[in-house]
Amino acid sequence: MDWRDTPEQAAWRSEVRTFLGTELPEEFRRQEVTADELIELRRGGQDGPRVDAFERWRTVLAERGWIAAAWPRAYGGAGMTPVDQFVLNQEFAEARAPQIGGLGVMMLGPTLIAHGTEEQKKRHLGGILRGEIQWCQGYSEPGSGSDLASLQTRAIRDGDDFVINGQKIWTSGAHLSDWCFMLARTDPDAPKHRGITYFLVDMKTPGITVRPLVNMAGAHHFNEVFFEDVRVPLENVVGEINRGWYLGTTTLDFERSSIGASVGQRQAIERYLAWLREGRAEMAPTDYEAVREQWAERWIEVQTATLLAYRVISMQAAGQIPNAEASIAKLYASELGQRVARTAVKTLGLWGGIVDRAAPFNGQAALNYLASVPQTIAGGTSEIQRNIIATRGLGLPRA
């Protein structure tokens, strides 16, 4: 593993930093913001400096092909190598610059580039890059999360259409999305990893109902989506019928290192350490020493998370495919996120349980604690990651 920049990588990193220093809107420098928040403002018909800044930011990134940096240039990307994209993502995370494109860029776009028809590429890729179309992912179901291949949503062929019935859950951003890429079972008699087809579904199609799921932090990001006799044209099938499982696992996402997570965790630790130093005189010595030791542990752990990220990108740079290594990085980063949130709450004492602007950090510590709970579930549970590490990394037999 080599975490040092080559001269070429150092020059590229300098270019990205210079770009961020001159082009990142001031509205985003003052306050961290996510693309989802801005999309929600814009979709709600609101305007203002932040929404205007978001559109300027999108335009300047699109001009450079940086919205979908790893896509081929022919499809509006920058054709970056894995290492170049790693540097770009790392510097964006350091600057807290909002990424743009969401699941359309990270998952659907690469799948269409690899498996879609030319008509599908022409119809959908441009809209993703221009920000005209938002996508959500219809994978998980009430009884099929970690064991996704057991999904039961049915799609039955009827002439030139498929008719879909079933339910999806934990559908991120469905209430903001125009289209959904989803998996549905088209052959119920086939083994569970077969008989599944990959569909593109217009969310305005009659028969689709989106119902919000508000999490315990009071945020509405997830949804459950119901399909009742939803007709999907045959032309919206991606790849072969009954072979959708293999497309569903094709994201071609070059960023599997969790570098953004480790950078964000380090920045959070730095903010709490600065607060701790400023308020040390007001704390009981025993309280200070207790949290000081815990923050030292968190600092060491975040350095470990960073090295795990470098391990993944080093393998990609060498032409290898990180499998267990990517699971190790994801597992460690997600569980570290929970430890950082717990330590922050403990550091603030009674204020740590208060969700109010009167609290330190505007009550964000308590919100982060609540939001950290699903981190070890989303993107593959910790249990699933450990199974992958055991079987594919250590060669242990399946249970």
255 is catalytic: yes
Q: What is the CA radius of gyration of the chain?
A: 22
Distance of CA 138 to the CA centre of its chain: 15
Distance of CA 396 to the CA centre of its chain: 30
What end-to-end distance do the CA atoms of the chain give, in Å?
32
- Cβ atoms 117, 161 nearer than 8 A: no
Q: How many residues does the chain have?
A: 399
Per annotation, catalytic residue among 27, 141, 224, 255: 255
Among 345, 260, 350, residue whose Cα is nearest residue 302? 260
Indicate the helix (H) or strand (E) that contains 337: helix 324-347
Q: Would you list the DSSP string of 190-212?
A: S-TTSSEEEEEEETTSTTEEEEE
CA distance 272 to 277: 9
- Cβ atoms 167, 180 nearer than 8 A: no
Among 247, 249, 250, 231, residue whose Cα is nearest residue 239? 247
DSSP state of 97: P
- Cβ atoms 169, 140 nearer than 8 A: yes
Indicate the helix (H) or strand (E) that contains 314: helix 285-317
- The residues assigned a catalytic role are 255
